[in-house]
């Protein structure tokens, strides 16, 4: 299992277009990928657009990105940098 | 055989029937046995596969024509293949022995409820997307093909129970020859859209769905309010002759479009155009109108996938203003509610939606939405003569509150260093009778008013304008309508403030003389009604219309009023006259 803290910087938060891009990218990995809001326990399947919408991360929030499986490190690193890039 | 109804949009056409009825899913309610699990899941996979294929096909057809719609469908495809939803459905089938159609309905409902409760407006809207996807899968499960008015492969006459705004915004105008509907009077959405698009329509045909089948050939005669089923050769020939007569008549009428609307004794009447779509087709008519007396901004919201951002709205409003090149544009702030549109905003269903949270009331309840619109409007105000018009105002407090809200948003723009017109006029729609009765007080507070006769009529007569059972109670020619309009006109004239009419009555050739007689000198209507309205205006004398206005207020019934208006119109028509630019 490999985790990393991410913070959402783009004004629209992690829904709409960014959420779609994130889910599409997460689906590329064999590992299971989850997100949870920093300080909370509920884990959300990050390959599911519906779960990501339900999580509803807004600008300025922090979340823990976790992957578990053969390609867990790569999954977390690539997805974390994707979130960074949303802010640009 | 013939069917009869209200002709609400002129023309005569012959064509093939396409029944349009939204699919209503009824998922199975019984449990299944262990042995049926695999079969049920197989059906589920098949339905998902069909739904995906449909989405892909529609999306590729729309990619260039309507990128906005294509984007929504792409989001739907994502939801369709969502792994969490799929897993949950499978689990419910395997372990709880729920048939897959019922299971998927349950899972989609669960998540759509969850999103519907979100604080974020954009997220709540996704709840209705989930419902759309659910209905698509269930329809595929039932083996029913999609029927969609936005993509037709041949010209048809649409036969339906009713059309909703969401159906009409995407209407494939080139292939809808005509519309026949069970419900709907002359002020229903369907009627307004049909007239706007110049599509012949006969509404209020009670048994049209029972009598008409896909592929039937019918003559739709929206001059006389008749539908002829399976016309014989003679009837077809007669239809073609009359259809071409109507086309000639309408073409002659068009020459009046560019005429200056002045009465015979020299009173200039302001004739504006109602707008909603803000596309080239609509805005080309701006040239021969005096401005827009009603810009229905909610259509901008209904058309789009997500709530349009402040910037996006600013661009749309600016485009509208520039198209009118300095002529006034009365921008009505979002008037959502009253009907189905509520679902998009994830708001609870109401027992009496027309008496519920709509218009300005909804704006106060959703300040985020209202604030973005006001800021966008104020920013656009430097590009033309924009005026802000508030819908569904019922009290002086609401005027006060909205004024303060607008001032606040202006201050926010100042803080951002953005330019806006500080002199922007703020006015109200008068459609709630309470406001019409204290019009003198309102006139002291606001810069202008516009009478929305459609809603005013339904509130004054206590008759839901979409309920065909009370259609006879919805009386636009009720003497009380003329009395109340006269009251508003007098109050605003006394205060030296402008008052106009923007409801369907403004474009009604029978009503126009009486309205002008009551002191209304500004009328705003669908582009399609302008030529005829100008022709009527050019035949009027102020003294005659004042007398007419006095008389209609003292008749006892709507039918007496109609008769008088008809005989007045007939006496003017005899005098004739040619269009002079």
**Does residue B543 belong to the interface with chain A, where contact is any CB pair within 8 Å?**
no
Using a CB cutoff of 8 Å and minimum separation of 24, what contacts does B85-94 make? B85/A48, B85/A50, B85/B111, B86/B48, B89/B44, B90/B41, B90/B44, B93/B32, B93/B37, B93/B40, B93/B41, B93/B44, B94/B37, B94/B41
Chain B: residue whose CA lies nearest to A18? B75
Task: Give rounded-to-5 percent helix, strand, coil for chain B.
Answer: 55, 15, 35
User: B565 pLDDT exceeds 50?
Assistant: yes
Q: Of these residues, B76, B140, B160, B189, which one is catalytic?
A: B189
Instruction: Dump pLDDT digits (tens) for B106-149.
Output: 999 999 888 888 777 677 778 878 888 998 999 999 988 877 78
Q: Which pLDDT band holds residue B67 (cuts at 50, 70, 90)? A: confident
Q: Which CATH class is domain B34-141?
A: mainly alpha
Q: Mean pLDDT in chain B?
A: 90
Burial of B9 (0-12, 13-18, 19+ CB in 10 A): buried
pLDDT of residue B123: 76
Q: Which pLDDT band holds residue B300 (cuts at 50, 70, 90)? A: confident
Q: Measured between CA atoms, how close is B116 to chain A, in angstroms?
A: 10
Fold of B2-21+148-244: Glucose Oxidase; domain 1 (3.50.30)
Number of A to B CB contacts under 8 A, please give it: 43
The segment(s) of chain B belonging to CATH 1.10.274.10 are 34-141
Other Cβ atoms closer than 10 A to A50 = 29
**Does residue A54 belong to the interface with chain B, where contact is any CB pair within 8 Å?**
yes
Residue among A47, A53, A58 minimizing CB distance to B115: A53
- What are B311's two structure tokens? 């910037």
Q: Which pLDDT band holds residue B151 (cuts at 50, 70, 90)? A: confident
A-chain CB neighbours of B125 within 8 Å are none
- What are B400's two structure tokens? 């006060």
**Does residue B84 belong to the interface with chain A, where contact is any CB pair within 8 Å?**
yes
User: Which residue range(s) make up the domain with A54?
Assistant: 2-86
Q: Measured between CA atoms, how close is A58 to chain B, in angstroms?
A: 9
Residue among A15, A23, A51 minimizing CB distance to B122: A15
Task: With CA atoms as reference, report the closest residue to A75 among A20, A16, A19, A35.
Answer: A35
B-chain CB neighbours of A15 within 8 Å are 120, 122-123, 126
pLDDT of residue B302: 64
Burial B536-546 (b: 16+ CB within 10 A, else e): bbbbbeeebbb
User: B170 pLDDT exceeds 70?
Assistant: no
User: B547 pLDDT exceeds 70?
Assistant: yes
Compute the average pLDDT of residues B344-352. 70
Chain A: residue whose CA lies nearest to B129? A50
- DSSP secondary structure letters along B403-465: HHHHHHHHHHHHHTT----TT-EEEEEE-SHHHHHTHHHHHHHSSEEEE-HHHHHHHHTT--T
Residue among B74, B83, B114 minimizing CB distance to A54: B114
- What are B336's two structure tokens? 């959502």
3-state secondary structure B478-542: CHHHHHHHHHHHHHHHHCCCEEEECCHHHHCCCCHHHHHHCCCCEEEECHHHHHHHHHHHHCCCH
Instruction: Dump pLDDT digits (tens) for B200-211.
Output: 999 989 889 999
What is the DSSP code (8-state) at residue A13?
A: -
Residues of A designated as active site: 15
User: B449 pLDDT exceeds 90?
Assistant: yes
- CB pair distance less than 8 Å for B122 and A16: yes
pLDDT of residue B267: 96
Residue among A13, A16, A48 minimizing CB distance to B84: A48
Helix (H) or strand (E) holding B25: none
B-chain CB neighbours of A57 within 8 Å are none
The segment(s) of chain B belonging to CATH 3.20.20.60 are 262-575
- CB pair distance less than 8 Å for B83 and A47: yes
- CB pair distance less than 8 Å for B84 and A50: yes
- Which residue would you say has higher pLDDT here, B464 or B518? B518
pLDDT of residue B303: 55
- CB pair distance less than 8 Å for B123 and A48: no
In DSSP terms, which residues pair with B9 in a beta bridge? B201
A-chain CB neighbours of B311 within 8 Å are none
pLDDT of residue B346: 61
Q: Is B157 within 8 Å of B178 (Cβ atoms)?
A: yes
What percentage of residues in chain B have a pLDDT greater than 70?
A: 94
Give the range among B55-59, B161-165, B180-184, B329-333 with minimum mean pLDDT: B161-165
User: B306 pLDDT exceeds 60?
Assistant: no
pLDDT of residue B64: 76
Compute the average pLDDT of residues B555-569. 96
| CA B20/CA B167 separation, integer angstroms | 10
pLDDT of residue B543: 95
Q: Which parts of chain A have pLDDT scores under 70?
A: 16, 87-88
Query: 3-state class of B2 per DSSP?
Result: strand
- Using left for φ > 0, alpha for ψ between -120 and 50, and beta otherwise, residue B448 falls in beta
Fold of B262-575: TIM Barrel (3.20.20)
**Does residue B114 belong to the interface with chain A, where contact is any CB pair within 8 Å?**
yes
Which domain CATH number covers A71? 3.30.1340.10
C-alpha angle B270-B272-B276 in degrees, rounded to nearest 5: 165
Q: How many domains does chain A have?
A: 1
Q: Measured between CA atoms, how close is A42 to chain B, in angstroms?
A: 15
- CB pair distance less than 8 Å for A16 and B306: yes
Instruction: Dump pLDDT digits (tens) for B397-422.
Output: 999 999 999 999 999 999 999 999 99
**Does residue A23 belong to the interface with chain B, where contact is any CB pair within 8 Å?**
yes
- CB pair distance less than 8 Å for A58 and B120: yes
| CA B247/CA B529 separation, integer angstroms | 15
pLDDT of residue B340: 46
What is the DSSP code (8-state) at residue B347?
A: P
Instruction: Dump pLDDT digits (tens) for B195-236.
Output: 878 899 999 898 899 999 999 999 999 998 999 999 999 999
Residue B428 CA: distances (Å) to CA of B49, B171, B289, B492: 51, 31, 22, 12
B-chain CB neighbours of A47 within 8 Å are 83-84
User: B470 pLDDT exceeds 60?
Assistant: yes
| Residue B239 falls in the annotated catalytic set | no
């Amino acid at each position: 299992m490999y985790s990393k803290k991410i913070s959402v910087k783009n004004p629209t938060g992690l829904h709409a277009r960014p959420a779609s891009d994130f889910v599409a990218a997460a689906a590329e990995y064999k590992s299971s990928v989850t997100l949870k809001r920093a300080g909370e326990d509920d884990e959300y399947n990050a390959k599911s657009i519906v779960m990501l919408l339900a999580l509803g991360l807004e600008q300025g929030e922090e979340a823990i990105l976790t992957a578990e499986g053969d390609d867990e490190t790569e999954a977390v690193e690539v997805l974390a940098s994707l979130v960074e890039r949303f802010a640009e | 055989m013939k069917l009869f109804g209200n002709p609400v949009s002129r023309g005569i056409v012959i064509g093939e029937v396409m029944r349009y009825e939204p699919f209503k899913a009824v998922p199975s309610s019984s449990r299944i046995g262990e042995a049926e699990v695999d079969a049920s899941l197989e059906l589920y996979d098949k339905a998902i596969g069909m739904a995906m294929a449909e989405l892909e096909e529609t999306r590729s057809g729309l990619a260039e024509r309507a990128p906005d719609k294509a984007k929504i469908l792409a989001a739907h495809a994502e939801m369709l293949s969502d792994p969490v939803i799929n897993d949950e459905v499978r689990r419910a089938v395997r372990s709880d022995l729920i048939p897959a159609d019922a299971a998927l309905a349950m899972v989609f409902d669960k998540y759509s409820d969850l999103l519907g409760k979100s604080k974020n407006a954009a997220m709540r809207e996704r709840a209705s997307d989930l419902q759309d996807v659910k209905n698509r899968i269930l329809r595929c499960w039932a083996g029913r093909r999609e029927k969609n008015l936005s993509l037709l492969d041949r010209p048809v006459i649409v036969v339906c129970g009713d059309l909703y705004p969401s159906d009409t915004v995407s209407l494939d105008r080139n292939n809808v020859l005509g519309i026949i509907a069970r419900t709907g009077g002359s002020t229903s959405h369907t009627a307004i859209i049909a007239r706007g698009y110049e599509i012949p329509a006969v509404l209020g045909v009670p048994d049209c769905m029972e009598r008409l089948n896909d592929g039937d050939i019918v003559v739709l005669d929206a001059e006389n309010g008749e539908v002829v089923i399976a016309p014989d050769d003679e009837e077809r020939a007669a239809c073609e002759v009359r259809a071409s007569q109507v086309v000639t008549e309408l073409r002659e009428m068009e020459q009046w479009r560019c005429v200056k609307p002045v009465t015979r004794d020299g009173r200039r009447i302001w004739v504006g155009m109602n707008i909603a779509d803000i596309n080239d087709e609509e805005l080309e008519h701006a040239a021969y109108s005096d401005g827009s007396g009603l810009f229905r901004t909610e259509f901008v919201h209904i058309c789009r996938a997500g709530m349009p951002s402040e910037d996006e709205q600013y661009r749309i409003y600016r485009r509208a203003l520039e198209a009118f090149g300095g002529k006034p544009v009365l921008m009505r702030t979002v008037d959502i509610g009253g009907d189905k549109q509520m679902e998009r905003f994830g708001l609870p269903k109401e027992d009496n939606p027309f008496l519920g949270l709509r218009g300005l009331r909804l704006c106060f309840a959703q300040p985020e939405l209202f604030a973005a619109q006001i800021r966008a409007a104020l920013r656009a105000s430097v590009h033309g003569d924009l005026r802000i018009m508030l819908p569904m105002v019922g009290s002086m407090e609401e005027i006060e509150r909205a004024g303060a809200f607008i001032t606040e948003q202006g201050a926010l723009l100042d803080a951002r260093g953005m330019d806006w017109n500080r002199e922007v006029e703020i006015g109200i729609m008068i459609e709630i009778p309470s406001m019409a009765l204290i019009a003198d007080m309102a006139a002291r507070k606001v810069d202008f008013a516009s009478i929305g006769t459609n809603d005013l009529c339904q509130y004054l007569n206590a008759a839901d304008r979409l309920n065909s059972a009370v259609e006879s109670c919805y009386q636009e020619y009720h003497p009380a309508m003329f009395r109340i309009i006269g009251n508003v006109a007098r109050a605003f004239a006394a205060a030296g403030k402008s008052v106009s009419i923007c409801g369907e009555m403004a474009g009604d050739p029978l009503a126009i003389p009486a309205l002008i007689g009551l002191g209304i000198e500004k009328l705003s209507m669908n582009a399609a009604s302008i030529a005829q309205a100008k022709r009527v205006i050019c035949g009027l004398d102020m003294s005659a219309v004042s007398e007419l206005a006095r008389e209609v207020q003292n008749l006892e019934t709507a039918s007496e009023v109609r008769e008088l208006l008809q005989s007045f119109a007939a006496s003017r028509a005899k005098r004739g006259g040619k269009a002079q630019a």
